[in-house]
Amino acid sequence: MVKRSVLEQIYREMINIRMRLDDIENNFAKIMSAPTVPMSETNLISLPDHLRKTYLMVISKGQCAAIQISKLTGRCRAVESTYLNQLARMGWLDKHRISKVVYFQASHTSNTPLQPLKTKLTPINTNKTSAV
């Protein structure tokens, strides 16, 4: 006959396995639902490395503050705040304030950063016709 302690140990191991599976499923769900990068790779490559790292962290988190990004990148909050504000000025990020905290998220404007502005030019008539 199997001892009660052995059955309890098996039961505890099954609970641990189930908890690990739940964690794996949650992580997988986060990865699958992660937003795609709204910018093309060529535009991302044009960013300096330090700004690209910050931008990709914001994209992965969705909406976040400088302190959250600094914990992910390992840089201090003041540095991340500077980088986030640079990206906001460049048009890569939108920023808004809730209470005392400033939050940043990917810009969803129709004009993507680094895209040349389309200007309407009127064609110049090079054919000179003289009125005779």
Give dist(CA 41, CA 94) in Å, integer. 20
Domain locations in the chain as residue ranges: 1-33, 37-106
Report the pLDDT averaged over residues 82-90: 93
Class at the top of the CATH hierarchy for domain 37-106: mainly alpha
CB of 70 closer than 8 Å to CB of 77: yes
Residue 95 DSSP symbol: E
Give dist(CA 83, CA 94) in Å, integer. 13
Kindly indicate the confidence band of residue 118, based on its pLDDT and cuts at 50, 70 and 90: very low
User: pLDDT: is 111 or 99 the higher one?
Assistant: 99
| Arithmetic mean of pLDDT over the chain | 79
Give dist(CA 65, CA 38) in Å, integer. 19
Three-state DSSP at 113 gives: coil
As given in the structure block, the two tokens for residue 105 are: 């998220």
